């Protein structure tokens, strides 16, 4: 199997939405951009998933910051996207900064040169084959090319093993292997990991 990781383009929009369909994820990478309450978000995921799907497709097609990231493909599945890494300036994830585990980041100001990994999704049939690692490595290089001084990740770090669906921000172990270091919340369930690119 040959694996290719590239920045997302407008032509990837529909195939990316199909990845979320195959995984059974109703969020379509819209959580960080949803202004409502958690209860309202749960209702949208349950009853209005097509709206989130349409918003993801539109964001990728129009190249907004909400639709930026890396996609992965394999030679074994032509046309299909088998992995997605949301990568955008952290300032574009206003909801992240509003959540209590990450509020300490607000003291840094807008920080447009700090990029954030806001989602990491792998096709269920392609997990544990190096796709996630290739996406993060590609994201690091893309952030560097776009002038970022650092890239951050926000994995869930639980004492008990997590199932695959709970690793929607990527596994802590992967970021540790790639040189990310904890800058806030180490030892807690929601650490902030950062890799300097300067």
What pLDDT, on a 0 to 100 scale, did the predictor assign at position 28?
Answer: 96
pTM: 0.93
By the 8 A CB rule, do 172 and 155 touch? yes
The CA distance from 20 to 104, in Å, is 31
Whether domain 3-196 has CATH 3.90.1150.10: the reply is no
What pLDDT, on a 0 to 100 scale, did the predictor assign at position 159?
Answer: 65
Please report, for the chain, the start and end positions of each structural domain, with discontinuous segments joined by +: 3-196
pLDDT along the chain (198 residues), means of 10: 93 97 93 93 95 97 96 92 96 87 81 93 91 97 96 84 70 94 88 94
Kindly give the residue spans of alpha helices, DSSP state H, lying in the chain. 13-23, 38-47, 49-61, 94-98, 131-145, 172-177
What pLDDT, on a 0 to 100 scale, did the predictor assign at position 167?
Answer: 65
Nearest C-alpha neighbor of 149 from the set 80, 89, 196: 196
CA distances for 56 relative to 16, 98, 125, angstroms: 9, 22, 22
Q: What angle do CA 5, 170, 126 make, to 5 degrees?
A: 50
What pLDDT, on a 0 to 100 scale, did the predictor assign at position 110?
Answer: 74
What pLDDT, on a 0 to 100 scale, did the predictor assign at position 160?
Answer: 63
What pLDDT, on a 0 to 100 scale, did the predictor assign at position 108?
Answer: 80
């Amino acid at each position: 199997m040959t694996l290719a990781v590239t920045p997302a383009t407008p032509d990837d929009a529909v195939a990316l939405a199909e990845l979320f369909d195959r995984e059974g994820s109703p969020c379509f990478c819209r959580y960080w951009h949803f202004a409502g309450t958690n209860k309202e978000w749960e209702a949208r995921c349950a009853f209005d998933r097509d709206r989130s799907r349409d918003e993801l497709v539109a964001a990728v097609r129009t190249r907004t910051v909400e639709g930026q990231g890396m996609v992965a493909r394999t030679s074994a599945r032509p046309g299909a996207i088998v992995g997605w890494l949301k990568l955008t300036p952290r300032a574009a994830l206003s909801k992240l900064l509003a959540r209590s585990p990450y509020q300490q980041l607000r003291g840094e100001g807008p920080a447009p040169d700090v990029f954030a990994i806001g989602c990491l999704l792998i096709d269920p049939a392609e997990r544990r084959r190096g796709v996630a690692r290739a996406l993060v490595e590609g994201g690091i290089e893309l952030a560097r090319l776009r002038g970022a001084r650092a890239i951050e990740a926000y994995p869930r770090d639980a004492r008990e093993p997590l199932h695959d669906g709970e690793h929607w921000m990527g596994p802590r172990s992967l970021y540790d292997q790639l040189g990310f270091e904890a800058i806030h919340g180490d030892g807690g369930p929601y650490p902030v990991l950062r890799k300097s690119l300067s």
